[in-house]
Amino acid sequence: MKRRNRPAAILMIAILLFTSVVFPAFAQNGANTPSGDVNGDGRTNSRDARLALRGAARIETLSAEQTARADMNADGVLRSGDARAILQIAAKTGAYHEMVVRGSNTGTKNTYTGYESLPEIHYTATDPNNKKGLSKKTVNHSFGVAKNGKVHSISYESQKFFDEKGFDAVTYDNKTEKKVLYLTFDCGYENGNTGKILDTLKEKGVSAAFFCTLPQVKSAPELTKRMILEGHIVGNHSVHHPNFTKISAEKMAQELEEFDNYLRRYFGYCSSYFRYPEGAYSEYALSEVNSHGFRILFWSIAYEDWNESNQRGADYAYRTVVSRLHPGAVILLHAVSRDNAAALGRIIDEARAQGYEFRRLTDLP
């Protein structure tokens, strides 16, 4: 998209508006970070800026118009260049918003977790008429089969596309120069394996992310409670599991909002991570979901594990996953797979034996 220039005065007005309108509310939900080092890694960089930007977009009182003012370079896309301008404000105000938020731990009986309920949020379609002219063509996420400890070229190109287009989406971690892995599960419904998976993760001391649909959360609240209290991330996988390229921006907002608010109300919890149902997306859908403050998680390792009638045994699951490990991998496993539940401990042990470290999504650059 072609960049449009605006007078410096307009830019200054946008910054002043963010300073006077956004971040005073923002600071109520954040913490003091006078250096701008939002993620506490000792550096002030674009990752800190993205956190500041994302937090601003999630404030309940923030309108779509105010969020749009974050587009400092006026090219129609929120990207690191815009984020750096926001970071200057964040560093001065000491305001940011966590990717994972929990209510006060009072032991209340009004939520499953004992955390106080969080304020509900309202999402409004940011660009319902697609004035940016983004492509609505359906893309089914592809990742390839990684071999010999190297990311597949398809995953490489996928991440390159997101980075170059300025979308906050992750196929794999291409920035950390260490052997790191991110373990994620998709949970569309419960069939008795999620508890076993949680038991193994607790035994091995590994934090994972569970992308749940709302029916899964409602049908198994005790499992969702365990995920949260045992230090895992519960990500938004929508309410009805629709293909996001086939629904309107208003419907996208509704899917995100209903899931988010249920966790806020009954678990005192919310997170800013989202995974598309079916892995189907478009540039327009990426832009809309990002505009609501969500970081989108895809994957670089997966296999056909979701078919309950075609489970091939724990050894197959173990060999398949271990053979595809590579630095920065985002692993997608389905919690309905009894093979995954049985093989998970061995997968974790072998990955560590190969020098890999399991990290949380909040550690992503």
Tally the residues of the chain: 365
Is there a catalytic annotation at residue 186?
yes
Cα angle 174, 351, 306 (rounded to 5 degrees) comes to 85
Is there a catalytic annotation at residue 334?
yes
The CA distance from 349 to 343, in Å, is 10
Q: Which is the catalytic residue, given 305, 326, 334, 339?
A: 334
DSSP codes, 92-113: HHT----SEEE--B---TTSSS
Rounded to the nearest 10 degrees, how much is the dihedral formed by the CA atoms of 319, 323, 327, 333? -40
Q: Are 251 and 285 in contact (CB under 8 A)?
A: no
Q: Which is the catalytic residue, given 186, 260, 305, 339?
A: 186
Give the pairing type, strands 180-187 and 295-297: unpaired
Residues 314-327 as b/e (b if ≥16 CB within 10 A, e otherwise) read beebbbbbbebbbb
Q: Are 75 and 4 in contact (CB under 8 A)?
A: yes
Q: Which positions are catalytic?
A: 186, 334
